[in-house]
Amino acid sequence: MPGKVYAVANQKGGVGKTTTAVNLAACLAEAGERALVVDLDPQANATSGLGERANGTSSYDLLDGVPLEELAAPTRFHNLWLVPSKPELAGVAVELARREDGERFLAESLAGAGDGYSFVFLDCPPSLGPLTVNALAAADRVLVPVQAEYYALEGLSQLIRSLDLVRARLNPQLELAGVLLTMVDGRTKLSADVVAEVRKHFGEVVFQTAVPRSVPGRGTELRHARDQLRPALGRRRGLLEGGDGACQPRLNHSAAASAGAWKCSSAARAPRSS
């Protein structure tokens, strides 16, 4: 059975996409699952976060039709594999936009090739451009990290519209895995307000498990989310496979939309004192 392919996407930068992708993959690898991270961001943060560098080939070549098995390299973490990125990937976005079939290149490259992995995470760049569209076209599910800060809901309705478009045009099977609150600071009222607002508007698609803000330190990239995600994974075989209680991972957007869960309120955007 092919592995589950998760796109980790949000067109906002700095919301925890890379941290989530890297940590989930690392937790699963540690739990004995073969996990693959495909770094689709020219900034290559997942690559450096895993202590790697693109050594010649990269996700650029994956989009160019080079087979996955030639590109996925083992990392220093047991069971954890990586297709690295490098800055040249930025150029591919332009090429993809020019090609009529450019939105499906990744889906074609991954089709059947992910069989050797239980989980594949596609770490998306901070835009809804061709690289993210390729990831959404190739994924089984999309996981949306949302940072618990001002303007948390800003842009989310646009992301949801993009998911609808991708479903309609490219990948009808695409499911929303859920919205994951990240960098939650339990000490501030602002954080609590944003968490409440996101839960109010997105309801059961928001994972009950939220990732707290941790204090940066050496090796933090692999720890930020990990302490929080590991127990969630252990308890119920994952945020991902069975949901974490609050979130129904198979809930599709139309069900959520008819429940009114997708409306974003302007109230959530107004800065408040913490």
Ligand X SMILES: Nc1ncnc2c1ncn2[C@@H]1O[C@H](COP(=O)(O)OP(=O)(O)O)[C@@H](O)[C@H]1O
- The pair of structure tokens assigned to 159 is 């992301």
Gap between the Cα atoms of 65 and 229, Å rounded = 34
Contacts with ligand X, 173-192, as mask; x by CB under 6 A: ---------xx---------
Q: How far apart are CA 133 and CA 139, in angstroms?
A: 10
254: which 2 tokens? 């139309």
Nearer to ligand X, 19 or 79 (CB): 19
Measure the CA–CA gap between 95 and 43, rounded to whole angstroms. 18
Task: State the minimum distance, in angstroms, from the CB of residue 144 to ligand X.
Answer: 10
Asked if 195 is part of the footprint of ligand X (rule: CB under 6 A), the reply reads no
For ligand X, the closer CB: 56 or 217: 217
13 binds ligand X (CB under 6 A): yes
| 16 scored as a contact of ligand X (CB under 6 A) | yes
Q: Name the amino acid, one letter, at 47.
A: T
Of 71, 47, 65, the C-alpha closest to 125 is 47
Interface with ligand X, residue 224, by CB under 6 A: yes
User: Which of ligand X, Mg ion, none has residue 2 at its interface (CB below 5 to 8 Å by kind)?
Assistant: none
Among 5, 7, 9, 15, binds ligand X (CB under 6 A): 15
Q: Which of 20, 23, 45, 58 binds Mg ion (CB under 5 A)?
A: 45
* Residue 209 in the binding site for ligand X (CB under 6 A): no
Neighbours of 184 (CB within 10 A): 19
Which of 17, 167, 224, 226 is the binder for Mg ion (CB under 5 A)?
Answer: 17
Is the Cβ–Cβ distance between 162 and 136 less than 8 Å? yes
> Using the rule CB under 6 A, is 48 a contact of ligand X?
no
Does 18 help bind ligand X (rule: CB under 6 A)? yes
Q: Alpha-carbon distance 143 to 179, whole Å?
A: 6
Q: Tell the smallest beta-carbon distance from residue 10 to ligand X (Å).
A: 6
Contact 76, 46 (CB under 8 A): no
CB of 32 to Mg ion, least distance (A): 26
Binding-site size, ligand X (CB under 6 A): 17
Amino acid (1-letter code) at residue 192: A
| Site size with Mg ion, rule: CB under 5 A | 3
How big is the CA angle at 197 (ends 195 and 199), to the nearest 5 degrees?
70
Task: Confirm or reject binding of residue 18 to Mg ion (CB under 5 A).
Answer: yes
Report the partner that residue 211 touches, choosing among Mg ion, ligand X, none (CB closer than 5 to 8 A by kind).
ligand X
Q: How far is the CB of 112 from ligand X (least distance, A)?
A: 28
Whole-Å CA distances, 273 to 188, 194, 246:
9, 12, 28
45 is an interface residue for ligand X by CB under 6 A: yes
Locate 263 and state its tokens.
């409306």
The set of residues, in sequence order, having a beta carbon less than 8 Å from that of 116 and lying 6+ positions away, is 3, 34, 69
Return the number of the residue (147 or 191) whose C-beta is nearest Mg ion: 147
Contacting positions for Mg ion (CB under 5 A)? 17-18, 45
Contacting positions for ligand X (CB under 6 A)? 13-19, 45, 126, 182-183, 211, 213-214, 221, 224-225
